[in-house]
Structure 1
């Protein structure tokens, strides 16, 4: 039995090392002294350790202000997407109405459209309503890409919950909302976690729409802040790598904390319904 597992385990370890190595190299490079970053000889262990690159990154512009903007945009996108997607997924899974199949096909087709192809149409739409350089306008933009995936995934979870559970709760005295709150919502937790992380990462990592739609530095998010290390005098490689490491930390920490729920939610939502 152990011999049968040896080969797939070895392959899994090798793939994991290949995937993890760029992340390790980023943090290792950020901890090197600024003069050693462009060394011709690779140094896999950053010794002696230096925090100079992190100090430069954190003092470059109003860092905490950009963090606040990114958190505001990302968290708002997640909350609004979940509220809308929960209602839409329940309607698609529990009710039969005219145009339901066409709507489901539309959800799939929308996810196939590359985001870069939507920059000009979205820019014109936001400009027509005066939402350029307006943080809520950026949140609405992210919603157009997050909602289809969120609705589709949660619909699979709702369809996998037996209708008899809700009917039994309503017979016992729960109303429609009570059955949702006490029965459906706890069972939807893995799907909510999976879609929340997807929505958060989509909003947190985006650079293209934030750069195009936000004009004033006061509204910049962290991805736009990262580009500010490139100036006419050159690129501060150490500070840029340190800023990238700081930028990636929240996503890495959240993913490590809930990775089991995330993987379980993605796979369960893919096969149900």
Structure 2
């Protein structure tokens, strides 16, 4: 081991706890604020442990009109974007990793360059495209935008996972009588589980947290998503910080559930794909 002495292990443990506390403290502060009364929220005292707790902020957040509609829209757009991105990324990653064709390196370079463009720089071109395609103010148009943002990363990452699978396994399956589809379904696809999990988490978080495109492209209330719902707590009379923090806690629950469902394979997925690219 790199750290053998007890003092080194204790020091490393303390350092790890400090780093974890640094990143977890904002979440803790958000949670405690969601349980405070308006007077406690505006109090200048930094009470890390509230003397009294209330759930009124959560009821105020959920009672906003169209909450369930916003939640449904977010789930539809996010899960649809994740499913389409994984399917398209997988279909692109396998030939990029296994086949040799003219223009392959140039295409890979384009995939990499597509990830370098900031989302803000693409705002006006995407708006014009969605307008001409009559996809403004629709969940389908917003979902396609999320796919465009996450597909290059997904294809590039899954390509690394496919290259990490020994080709001898596929050739042995073909010798035993499997066709190319059978090899993909029985050999390649099961071994790509960690990679699919890692890229699905990235796609889910990207689509779930996106705010700017959802705000501008979806103008009707019944088609807006949860990030836009979070902005509704700020009015001309000020910001209801207690309800905002409660809404943020509610907003984080679906992402937390998704992460818990796939976290067993996430660690293996984030490391295995980096071996070969």
So what's the TM-score if we normalise by structure 1?
0.96
The whole-number CA distance in structure 2 between the counterparts of 1:222 and 1:197 is 18
1:3, distance to aligned residue in structure 2 (A): 3.0
The whole-number CA distance in structure 2 between the counterparts of 1:6 and 1:260 is 27
Q: Are 1:42 and 2:84 an aligned pair?
A: no
Q: Is the contact made by 1:86 and 1:154 (CA closer than 8 Å) also made in structure 2?
A: yes
What's 1:268 paired with? 272
Alignment of 1:232-251 (within 5 A): 232-251=236-255
1:270, distance to aligned residue in structure 2 (A): 2.0
The whole-number CA distance in structure 2 between the counterparts of 1:63 and 1:193 is 29
Choose from 32, 37, 43 the match for 1:33.
37
The whole-number CA distance in structure 1 between the counterparts of 2:185 and 2:175 is 15
Choose from 131, 134, 147 the match for 1:130.
134
What's 2:212 paired with? 208
The range that moved more, 58-67 or 252-261, is 252-261
- How many residues align? The count is 273
Choose from 193, 196, 202 the match for 1:192.
196
Alignment of 1:15-26 (within 5 A): 15-26=19-30
What's 2:153 paired with? 149
So what's the TM-score if we normalise by structure 2?
0.95
What's 1:58 paired with? 62
The whole-number CA distance in structure 2 between the counterparts of 1:269 and 1:31 is 41
What's 1:220 paired with? 224
Secondary structure of 1:49 counterpart:
coil
Give the aligned CA root-mean-square deviation in angstroms: 1.3
Choose from 18, 35, 43 the match for 1:14.
18
Deviations 1:43-101 (A, max 9, x none): 11133221000000000121111110000000000100011011100010000111111
The range that moved more, 191-200 or 246-255, is 246-255
Unaligned segments of structure 1, at least 5 residues: none
Q: Are 1:120 and 2:151 an aligned pair?
A: no
The whole-number CA distance in structure 1 between the counterparts of 2:258 and 2:46 is 31
Q: Is the contact made by 2:90 and 2:158 (CA closer than 8 Å) also made in structure 1?
A: yes
Secondary structure of 1:97 counterpart:
coil
Q: Is the contact made by 1:34 and 1:53 (CA closer than 8 Å) also made in structure 2?
A: no
Q: Is the contact made by 2:66 and 2:222 (CA closer than 8 Å) also made in structure 1?
A: no
Q: Is the contact made by 1:34 and 1:52 (CA closer than 8 Å) also made in structure 2?
A: no
1:262, distance to aligned residue in structure 2 (A): 1.8
1:8, distance to aligned residue in structure 2 (A): 2.6
1:6, distance to aligned residue in structure 2 (A): 2.7
